[in-house]
Amino acid sequence: MVVAAGLFLSACANAEEPRVSDPTQKPDGFVNATEYIHGLKSDVRYVGNNNFIGRPINGYDASVCYLTIEAADALAEVQAKLSGFGLGLKVFDCYRPARAVANFASWARDLDDQIMKSEFYPNVAKSRLFELGYIAERSGHSRGSTLDLTIIDAKTGEELDMGSPWDLFDSLSWPSDPRPSVEQRGNRALLQTIMLENGFRGIKEEWWHFTLNNEPYPDTYFDFPIR
C-alpha cells in the first residue's frame, strides 16, 4: 500500500508540471498577453534603455509580454473586473529569459557600472542588491507566470500613483511601506487585493510583482528569447 501510494503521489506530482524537453524553446502553453487579453497595455522596459542597467537586456529582442495561458487567463479576470470601474492594467515585464537574469546578476557584480543609480537605486549601495533581494541568480519571471504591472486609467492611459516608480530598488517600493500618501497606499491596496483575489501572490519588496499561485511550470526556468 505504501509503495502504491508513493507511486500515485509521484504520478500526481509529474502530472502537475508539463514535461519540457528544451527550455530554450517557447512551448505552446505561452501566449502574447497583450493580444490575448482585451485592453491590456504594456511598456516592456528591458527591450530599451529605460531600465536600471541603462541598456537593452539580453534575450529581449521585442516588446512582447509572454505569459503561460494559465497566468493570462487569471490576469484577464483582473482586467475585466477593473474595466468595470474605468481602469485597466499595464505590464512592465512578464516572462523573462534566464539569460536576462544572468545579465542582471553580472551587472550587479560590476560595482563600477552605476550610470542609472540616481534613478533606480539612489539610497541603496549597489554592493547590497543581492543581499537585499533586489537582484537574484534566478527569477520566477523565467517560469512564465510572474509579471510586473500597475493599474491605469483606461481612458487616458495614465498610471495610478503608487508612491514609487516601477523597479525602484528601495524600501519605498515595499507594499507595506508607510511613507506613501493615503491615496497612494489605497492604489497599492487595490492592486494587491484584486491580484490576490484572482489567484496571484505578491512579494514584500515590490508592489508591482505577482506570481500565479498554481503556476504550471513551478520548477522550469525557460530561456527562449522574446521575439
Residues with a catalytic annotation lie at 206
Could you give the dihedral angle defined by the CA atoms of residues 158, 164, 169 and 175, in that order, rounded to the nearest 10 degrees? -110
H-helix segments, 84-128: 98-109, 117-120
Residue in this structure with the C-alpha cell 516601477, named with its chain if needed = 166
Cell of 113: 557600472
Cβ atoms of 93 and 148 within 8 Å: the answer is yes
Residue 100, Cβ neighbours under 10 Å: how many? 23
